[in-house]
Structure 1
Amino acid sequence: MINTRIIKEKDKKLEILKFIINNKNKSLNEIITVAAKIACGYLKIMIYEYDPLNNFLQTKITQNKRFQLDLKEQLSESVFRAKKNIIFSKKNKEFEPLPKEFSSEYNTGISIPIPPNKKINGIIIALNKNETTPTIKDIENLEFALYYSIKISDNFLEETEKENIIKVGKNILNINESKLKIDNKFIYLSENERKILEILFNNSNKIIKPKIIINYCWPNRKNSSSLLDVTIFRLRKKIKEINKGKDIIKTVRNKGYKFTKKSF
Structure 2
Amino acid sequence: MQNNEALKALLEDIQSGKVSVDQGVESLRDLPFQDIGHTVIDNHRMLRNGFPEVIYGEGKTKEQLVDIFGYMRERNNVLATRVDAEKAAFVLERFPDAEYNAMGRTLTFLKNEIEFKPGEIGIITAGTSDMDVAEEAKVTCEMLGSHASIISDIGVAGIHRLLGRLDNIRKYTVLIVIAGMEGALSSVVGGLVEQPIIAVPTSVGYGANFSGLSALLGMLTSCASGVTVVNIDNGFGAACAACKINNLVQR
Q: TM-score range by the shorter chain?
A: under 0.3
Structure showing greater Rg: 1
